């Protein structure tokens, strides 16, 4: 019999159990609600709640003594090894839980697993209503989609109005003047002289 041994062993070695609870804690902090077995959920609750209390006390020390708050942050980071999870825990969750003295999470039984019949449960933060947040996010997505659909119609209307103006402004393009080279300039006088001589001869012939 195991006397004076706190917590569940979960059929794992000490290092494996520590890594498992750390990963579950990170998942819970990032997603605010996770589904797992009942034994793991109950064990996770006893594991994570002391670190949530540390985040709360660190928030109080921010204005008074920043060094103490930093120390608590480092102690938590040595166990929960994820920078984003630590940031969320100390910046967001600590604010939500500021007025609550313990009992930050709840465990809800969801029945038995199909494969092996293990009892399953959901563990979530008490101060976060995940369903309402999901509904808000869905509404925002729908609004953005509706706005996206309305915009192209408005753009088409403006284009149709602008088209006749553009047609009125458009003018026929003038033919570009050809560039005259130096050789052509030198040759031109000879051609003009010949043309003048030809015209003189034609006139004289007509007079005759």
CATH code for position 115: 3.90.1030.10
For residues 119 and 144, membership in a common domain is answered with no
Domain range for 91: 14-127
For residues 158 and 65, membership in a common domain is answered with no
For the chain, the domain total comes to 2
In sequence order, what are the residues at sequence separation of 6 or more whose Cβ sits closer than 8 angstroms to the Cβ of residue 91?
none
- pTM comes to 0.62
Q: What pLDDT, on the 0 to 100 scale, is given for residue 65?
A: 80
What CA–CA distance (Å, rounded) separates 19 from 32?
19
For residues 68 and 165, membership in a common domain is answered with no
Q: What pLDDT, on the 0 to 100 scale, is given for residue 19?
A: 96
The answer to whether the CB of 76 falls within 8 A of the CB of 86 is yes
Q: What pLDDT, on the 0 to 100 scale, is given for residue 1?
A: 77
Q: What pLDDT, on the 0 to 100 scale, is given for residue 184?
A: 66
Quickly count: other Cβ atoms within 10 Å of residue 153's Cβ. 8
Within a domain: 24: yes
Let me know the angle formed at the C-alpha of 25 by 120 and 21, rounded to the nearest 5 degrees: 75
Q: What pLDDT, on the 0 to 100 scale, is given for residue 203?
A: 53
For residues 41 and 76, membership in a common domain is answered with yes
- Please report, in tens digits, the pLDDT of each residue of the chain (208 residues total): 778 888 899 999 999 999 999 999 999 999 999 999 999 999 999 999 999 999 999 988 877 788 888 999 999 999 999 999 999 999 999 999 988 998 999 999 999 999 999 999 999 999 887 666 667 778 888 888 888 777 555 555 555 555 555 554 555 666 666 666 666 666 555 555 555 555 555 555 555 5
For residues 141 and 74, membership in a common domain is answered with no
């Amino acid at each position: 019999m195991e006397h004076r041994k706190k917590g569940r062993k979960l059929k794992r070695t000490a290092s494996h159990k520590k890594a498992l609870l750390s990963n579950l804690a990170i998942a819970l902090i990032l997603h605010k609600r996770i589904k797992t077995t009942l034994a793991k959920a109950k064990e996770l609750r006893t594991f994570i709640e002391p670190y949530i209390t540390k985040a709360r006390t660190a928030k109080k020390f921010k204005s008074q003594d920043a060094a103490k708050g930093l120390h608590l942050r480092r102690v938590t980071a040595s166990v929960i090894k994820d920078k984003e999870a630590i940031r969320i825990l100390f910046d967001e969750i600590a604010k939500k839980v500021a007025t609550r003295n313990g009992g930050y999470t709840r465990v809800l039984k969801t029945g038995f697993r199909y494969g092996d019949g293990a009892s399953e449960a959901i563990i979530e933060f008490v101060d976060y209503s995940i369903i309402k947040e999901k509904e808000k996010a869905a509404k925002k997505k729908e609004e953005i989609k509706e706005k996206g659909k309305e915009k192209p119609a408005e753009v088409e209307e403006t284009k149709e109005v602008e088209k006749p103006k553009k047609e009125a402004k458009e003018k026929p393009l003038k033919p570009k003047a050809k560039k005259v080279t130096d050789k052509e300039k030198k040759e031109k006088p000879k051609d003009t002289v010949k043309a003048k001589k030809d015209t003189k001869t034609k006139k004289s012939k007509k007079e005759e």
